[in-house]
Amino acid sequence: MAKQPPEGPPGDSPETVPDAASDFLPDTKEGKPPDEAATGGEEPTPVAPPAAATVEAPKPKSTVNLELLLNWVPKYKRRKQYILFVEDVSVSFDGFKALDGLTLYLTEGELRCVIGPNGAGKTTMMDVITGQTRPDSGEAWFMDRINLLERDEVFIAQQGICRKFQKPSVFESLTAAQNLVLALKAEKSVFSTFRARIGKEDRDFLDEVMGQIGLREDAGKLAGNLSHGQKQWLEIGMLLAQRPRLLLLDEPVAGMTPQEIDHTKELLLGLEGNHTILVVEHDMEFVRSIARQVTVLHQGRVLAEGGMAEVSANREVVEAYLGGSDA
């Protein structure tokens, strides 16, 4: 049964960046070297042998658990190649497996599309990455050193994982520009945000973001008066204002006009390379227009992965998903 994460202490300190010396210090799932992990990192309580038992010669204390080490080194090296490393993650709700051994690796700067039928586990996958749902088993690491399964939502967001939900959630009674300022100063109160002067550097940065999302001319408009598509872009802009490392976008073009979809395509392609982006989308035409690597989820696990042409030709994918869609 998926557990809600415990409330972590605010200002949770970042995990230690492995330095050259610690590169080969195994951090098993407990974050400890294998020989420590095997004992839970605590000194074992000495237990007197039963009187009649044969007393074995004690093992030397410094013996490294070779098997654990041999398993750990290749995995750690693999983990270092990816900005997001999700391996064998399972989540169940009242016995139903929403994720069933999900494995997903993202390299820095890539634009990855995730598709799959309703209920495949796409949103649950995002919930795990952002700390909203704790899996029953598996691993999830960000930038090879942040164990996402041990962190709360606030800490994870502070590390640069920004998520956009399907429904736009902008402040309708503020202008587009004020929404961006709020996002930039997310750590401050609304009151201090409006009193605080925005420095030139921040102003230039927000102007650049306005340009990226195509809202320069509407910067002074109330967000409530923007079109559905413009609100979606503004929300993407609010994520960009937080200088994210990984952007998670859940169905970003749902409800958009063809022109708005086209603009969103340009926007995301423009971000590729500078940001790592994970897009979940049902609109196959849109996916085809932006996709490099596509991951197909089905019943909580990866059914296929590859270029759009490759996964579209996969018989299992056609049967499970594409056959029934308008793709």
Ligand X SMILES: Nc1ncnc2c1ncn2[C@@H]1O[C@H](COP(=O)(O)OP(=O)(O)OP(=O)(O)O)[C@@H](O)[C@H]1O
Task: Choose the contact partner of 129 out of ligand X, Mg ion, none; CB within 5 to 8 A by kind.
Answer: none
Task: Choose the contact partner of 93 out of ligand X, Mg ion, none; CB within 5 to 8 A by kind.
Answer: ligand X
Supply the DSSP string of 107-135, one letter for each residue. Answer: -TT-EEEEE--TTSSHHHHHHHHTTSSB-
**How many positions of this chain bind Mg ion (CB under 5 A)?**
2
Of 182 and 256, nearer to Mg ion (C-beta) is: 256
Smallest distance from Mg ion to CB 144, Å: 27
Smallest distance from ligand X to CB 326, Å: 15
Task: Note whether 123 binds Mg ion by CB under 5 A.
Answer: yes
Supply the DSSP string of 7-75, one letter for each residue. Answer: -PPTT-PPPPPP-TGGGGS---TTSS-HHHHHTTTSPPPP-PPPTTSPPPPPPPTT---HHHHHHHHHH
Of 133 and 159, nearer to ligand X (C-beta) is: 133
* CA–CA gap between residue 114 and residue 283 (Å, rounded): 11
Task: Choose the contact partner of 34 out of Mg ion, ligand X, none; CB within 5 to 8 A by kind.
Answer: none
Task: Choose the contact partner of 312 out of Mg ion, ligand X, none; CB within 5 to 8 A by kind.
Answer: none
Of 93 and 194, nearer to ligand X (C-beta) is: 93
CA torsion 277-281-287-292 (nearest 10°) is 30
Task: Choose the contact partner of 118 out of ligand X, Mg ion, none; CB within 5 to 8 A by kind.
Answer: ligand X
Residue whose pair of structure tokens reads 């000194």 in the numeric block: 43
Task: Note whether 124 binds Mg ion by CB under 5 A.
Answer: no
Task: Note whether 212 binds Mg ion by CB under 5 A.
Answer: no
Of 122 and 231, nearer to Mg ion (C-beta) is: 122
Smallest distance from Mg ion to CB 118, Å: 8
Using DSSP's 3-state secondary structure scheme, residue 85 falls into strand
> What tokens were used for 182?
């709020």
Query: Which residues form the interface with ligand X (CB under 6 A)?
Result: 93, 98, 116, 118-124
Do residues 315 and 287 make contact, with C-beta atoms less than 8 angstroms apart? no
Using DSSP's 3-state secondary structure scheme, residue 100 falls into strand
Q: Determine the residue with CB nearest Mg ion.
A: 123
The residue ranges that bind Mg ion (CB under 5 A) are 122-123
